[in-house]
Structure 1
Amino acid sequence: MSKKIRIVLAQLNLTVGDISGNLEKHVRAAHDARDKLSADMIVFPELSLIGYPCEDLLLRKAFIDDARKALHQIKATVKNIYCLVGHPYTDHHRLFNSCSLIFNGRILSRYDKQRLPNYGVFDECRYFTPGTRTCVQTVEGISAGLVICEDLWKIGPVQDAATQGAQIIISPNASPFEIDKHEQRVAVMGKRAAQHRLPIVYVNQVGGQDDLIFDGGSMVINAQGHLCQFAGFFNETLLPVDLTLDAAPQVSASKISISSHEERVYQALVLGVRDYVNKNHFNGVLVGVSGGIDSALTLAVAVDALGKERVHAVMMPSRYTSKISTEDSLTLINNLGVSSETLSIESVYESFLASLSQSFADKKPDITEENIQARCRAVILMALSNKHGHLVLTTGNRSEIAVGYCTLYGDMAGGFAVLKDVPKTLVYKLAAYRNQQHPVIPARTLERPPTAELAPDQKDEDTLPPYPVLDRILECYLNQSQSLEEIIDQGFDSRTVHQVVAMIKKNEYKRRQAAIGPRINHKSFGKDWRYPVTNGFKG
């Protein structure tokens, strides 16, 4: 006789530390899964009650106590549906990353995560003790093996669950977005599922948390290793999945469409901005608009994240601002429908030069005067931010930040760096993608050579290699950790490679003082880039 179970994948946007708010979401989702979707079971993401990652909140006893109380509230409140809930568990001064299966006021079983990631953005060994027990629990006559996130990526936990009779693997996750991460997940889970002939139910959270973005992408991989159910990216949803167990487990299948890389990155940036602004209770945002591609894309992302009513554009022309830049800025602002104002920096700049004239009397103009202009703009934006309670979004991209082509306390000043992890060449692709949805960025902005317009006839390539070359070198050195020799062996000019790497190292001090921004790369300038400022290594 066949056995059937309906499992709901709860792809939720949870907030770190907001235990009461997260608890409310759990209860509402469980009731909806039971009453509206006729589910037997609902699965929540990793550490769902407290959000992920909680960092040093996990070291506070009051925080752990509140999480325990919330778990008991779910146990007392939700009836007639199995709930797999993520939470911290403490035992004799040890803390575990755990999930508990709850049904009708009882905790039927608890599983403690065995493989703790301690690389990149993950610091789980700082907080948690690894679990040692395999957990296989019967749910509606079907044996479910429980594993948590990293357990799927390592050999052992799934195999142990299969050995102990699991007929299906259920995995809560808190897996951050990266450009190719979905394809990696499908490949890893497909291999695990096919190897052990077990379907895998994968539930991931969605939402922005500081510089991390969680893309969701909850899914089911069938026993043959194929993707058969998918909840989509960047959306909160409850996805019902039907499992039938005859001689072998069968999972209901649906038509699946996977979005392009450009679409995923763009939606990741939108979600990152929206959650950072809303979860930190800012009224709105300010964007300094220059007529260039970076500020244009930043403004478009901000509008798509928050709505035009919460976005204010500021044009700050100088003696070097071209007519084209002014025209394109106005076109962009009108296309997006945001409020705006124009505040020239000329009088402020002249005042600085006058104050410094004696000190500069025997010096020729150089980058100093360029940086003063950038800092004039920063002062204006931060003054508007203070007065109106709006967050300043910086507009610099990954390529510029990597090599220090940016001004400390100038264009780097702000609260959230939208394009911090987006290479310049990808900026153009994202702008083109946004225009495909609805044209807002002027074509001329995409076509003209990039320039900071801080000096006469200035072009970025006066200082930097062409961006296609620069970005390929940065990919090799930053993302792939290749040596200078390995990069040069691929055909890059030796002098250019040494110049780029020297600029990267020289400007570490700037990056340490930069605003955080959405992480989209395997290695971003955040927790997974921990290089010393004082660094004598030559490679």
Structure 2
Amino acid sequence: MLNVAVVQLNYTVGDFAGNTAAIINHMQKAVVGKADIAVFSELCICGYYPGDLLEDTVFLQKADVALAAILQASKDYPTLVSVIGTVRRNPGQGKALHNALLAVRDGAIIAEYYKQLLPTYGIFDERRHFEPGREVASTIDVKGQKIGFMVCEDGWNDDEQDYQVNPFNALTKAKVDLVISINASPSDIGKRKQRHAMFSNASAHHQLPLLYVNQVGGQDQLVFDGASFAVTPAEGVVFEAGRFREDFQLIAFDDKKFSQANGRPLVRPDLTGLAVPDFTRRQIVLGLQDYARRCGFRQVVVGSSGGIDSALTIALAVEALGAENVIAITMPSAYSSSGSVSDSVKLCDNLKVKLHTHPILSLVEQYAQGFADAFSSKLQGLTQENLQARIRGTILMEYSNAFGALLLTTGNKSEISVGYCTLYGDTNGGLGLIGDLYKTEVYALAHHINERAGCEIIPHDVLTKPPSAELAPDQLDTDSLPPYEELDEILKWHIEGRRLPSEEFARAQAFVEQLQATEVGMKTLSRILGMVARNEYKRRQAPPIIRVRARAFGSGRQMPIAAKYTH
């Protein structure tokens, strides 16, 4: 029987000392648990994804030093095989590096495998830095079990649609007993189900049991959910590690089957998955926790308008960092409703968040006078509306600079898509929590937070008031945009399309087809698509957002600014 330690950790890019210490600590833990093999995740030594740090000589030297430390430590555990991910230099033609899997034991590398399929789409750009490995299987024998290896994307091409190479074929020819895949697979809506289906199908197709080990944690826009798992040809997914947390599990493998380390049957995981609001909450909370920690921020500050977006942002920040580390600022103007302040007060009372008040009326008046004096023109219309947003953005940045708090921007995906936001105003900030949530999803998540708490965290009035920027008299979002229930279907169809879960795509497609059947509908569709195209320049200058969907703004959607779009 082969005893396997599944090591699911939260690595930091470039933290070689911290990552190495965690790896060595869990090697020791694996030995204490009588494991024969400990499996870590893709590029665990340097963290995923290092980007152009891979072109930094010092970075690569530190990776070498870290590997040497792990090899030295492995001498203390001479019977343990540790499977780790790191960077290796390419001595041949092509890119200078390989994305490598190493199996180490007793101070030596006993197997070295280079990732064959390098994703260069969406959020991935691995071909920028790495050369693909040769089309061969890498195997080792441990306690009578022949183990073959792959790295992440290598397992995603069993239908042979995206690449000419299918690494499963070489492993099948090598007649391995078990496939171990190390991964850095970012999380998004539907990704867990997709992983399970992809690897269960491949396992059944090739009659190969497989262990899939993933990392966990937030890295810039990406969040990794862990959820490492094992599949067998006959049963599909038979084991799963924790989601959105570090985990260390001991399992056994023998006769093509997995079991508990004591030989008892595994408890089958619940494959239902999380409801979308619960998933997005966990994804965003973990993303903020790690972003703040890695960037050195203890506190965050949020502009509280009394609206749903800022309310949800504050509630999520409290869950991630604690109420004592969240600061809210309300900045009423001449056009602010009474609820903009009172609802902010009630929200912050519910969450025990400190709320500051900083009115902006006198500042707006001073700007208006200065504008008139300098340009002999009255400050009015859109210019005056945007000025209010920019004054608020400046105040928030003042607080951030003065007290060292990370400013969280509060824009949602619907507004960001169509440019319903002000550059250098409400787009100010270091991170956006809800920038990958459509407005209808913002409401759904707010309701979920209240339901989960069993009380009214986000006030009823915030949930029911008509959305408004409150930058002009009696202003409503619907003055400029279709109702969000309609707008979101158009945006999902246009921005994500078939990347959506099948039911969601079918609903969006049906709605757009209805619009296309009428002249009025076609005008609406054309207007919205035009707004998306024209506002690429705003998105390019906006803060990073935590990704929750398959196609998020940022690295996942790369569009030109200066282009002619035809709709």
> TM range, normalised to the smaller chain?
over 0.9
Q: SS of the counterpart of 1:130?
A: coil
1:172 is aligned, of 176, 182, 201, to 182
Q: What is the alpha-carbon distance in structure 1 between the residues aligned to residue 66 and residue 317 of structure 2?
A: 35
Which residue number in structure 2 is paired with residue 469 of structure 1? 486
Which residue number in structure 1 is paired with residue 115 of structure 2? 113
Residues 360 and 450 (structure 1), Cα distance of their counterparts in 2 relative to 1, 3 Å cut:
farther
Q: Which amino acid aligns with 1:123?
A: D
Q: Which amino acid aligns with 1:135?
A: S
> Which shows bigger deviation, 408-417 or 364-373?
364-373
Q: Does 1:443 align with 2:446?
A: no
Q: Which amino acid aligns with 2:231?
A: I
Residues 369 and 447 (structure 1), Cα distance of their counterparts in 2 relative to 1, 3 Å cut:
same
Which residue number in structure 1 is paired with residue 266 of structure 2? 253
Show structure 1 runs of 5+ residues with no match: none
Q: Which amino acid aligns with 1:226?
A: G
Q: What is the alpha-carbon distance in structure 2 between the residues aligned to residue 425 and residue 432 of structure 1?
A: 11
Which residue number in structure 2 is paired with residue 124 of structure 1? 126
Cα distance, 1:485 vs structure 2: 11
Cα distance, 1:283 vs structure 2: 2.9
Q: Does 1:389 align with 2:413?
A: no
| Contact 2:90–2:131 (CA under 8 A) maintained in structure 1 | no
2:239 is aligned, of 222, 229, 241, to 229
Q: SS of the counterpart of 1:125?
A: helix
Q: SS of the counterpart of 1:147?
A: strand
Q: Which amino acid aligns with 1:459?
A: L
Query: Deviation per CA, 1:328-379, whole angstroms, max 9, x where unpaired?
Result: 1111101111122111111111111111124675557311111111011011
Which residue number in structure 1 is paired with residue 477 of structure 2? 460
* Count of aligned residue pairs for this structure pair: 532
Q: SS of the counterpart of 1:291?
A: coil
Query: Deviation per CA, 1:237-264, whole angstroms, max 9, x where unpaired?
Result: 112222122xx43444214233222211
Q: What is the alpha-carbon distance in structure 1 between the residues aligned to residue 278 and residue 513 of structure 2?
A: 33
Cα distance, 1:197 vs structure 2: 1.7
Q: What is the alpha-carbon distance in structure 2 between the residues aligned to residue 215 and residue 488 of structure 1?
A: 33
Which residue number in structure 2 is paired with residue 535 of structure 1? 563
Q: What is the alpha-carbon distance in structure 2 between the residues aligned to residue 72 and residue 389 of structure 1?
A: 38
Query: Deviation per CA, 1:99-131, whole angstroms, max 9, x where unpaired?
Result: 111111121101100011010111111100100
1:500 is aligned, of 528, 553, 556, to 528
Query: Deviation per CA, 1:301-350, whole angstroms, max 9, x where unpaired?
Result: 11111111111111111122212222211111011111221111111111
1:489 is aligned, of 493, 509, 513, to 513
| Contact 1:179–1:521 (CA under 8 A) maintained in structure 2 | yes
| Contact 1:192–1:225 (CA under 8 A) maintained in structure 2 | no
| Contact 1:206–1:235 (CA under 8 A) maintained in structure 2 | yes
| Contact 1:223–1:249 (CA under 8 A) maintained in structure 2 | no
Q: What percentage of aligned pairs have identical amino acids? A: 39
Q: Does 1:512 align with 2:563?
A: no
Q: Which amino acid aligns with 1:387?
A: A
Q: SS of the counterpart of 1:480?
A: helix
Q: Does 1:337 align with 2:347?
A: no
Q: What is the alpha-carbon distance in structure 2 between the residues aligned to residue 411 and residue 254 of structure 1?
A: 48
Q: SS of the counterpart of 1:504?
A: helix
Q: SS of the counterpart of 2:269?
A: coil
Q: Does 1:263 align with 2:278?
A: yes
Cα distance, 1:160 vs structure 2: 1.3
| Contact 1:167–1:249 (CA under 8 A) maintained in structure 2 | no
When normalised by structure 1's length, the TM-score is: 0.95
Which residue number in structure 1 is paired with residue 218 of structure 2? 208
Q: What is the alpha-carbon distance in structure 1 between the residues aligned to residue 178 and residue 514 of structure 2?
A: 46
1:47 is aligned, of 43, 55, 61, to 43
Which residue number in structure 1 is paired with residue 162 of structure 2? none
The alignment yields a C-alpha RMSD, in angstroms, of 1.8
Q: Which amino acid aligns with 2:224?
A: F
Q: Which amino acid aligns with 1:375?
A: R
1:75 is aligned, of 59, 71, 76, to 71
Cα distance, 1:470 vs structure 2: 0.7
Which residue number in structure 2 is paired with residue 9 of structure 1? 6
When normalised by structure 2's length, the TM-score is: 0.91
Q: SS of the counterpart of 1:193?
A: helix
Which residue number in structure 1 is paired with residue 105 of structure 2? 103
Show structure 2 runs of 5+ residues with no match: 159-165, 260-264, 500-507
> Which shows bigger deviation, 399-408 or 362-371?
362-371
> Which shows bigger deviation, 449-458 or 407-416?
449-458
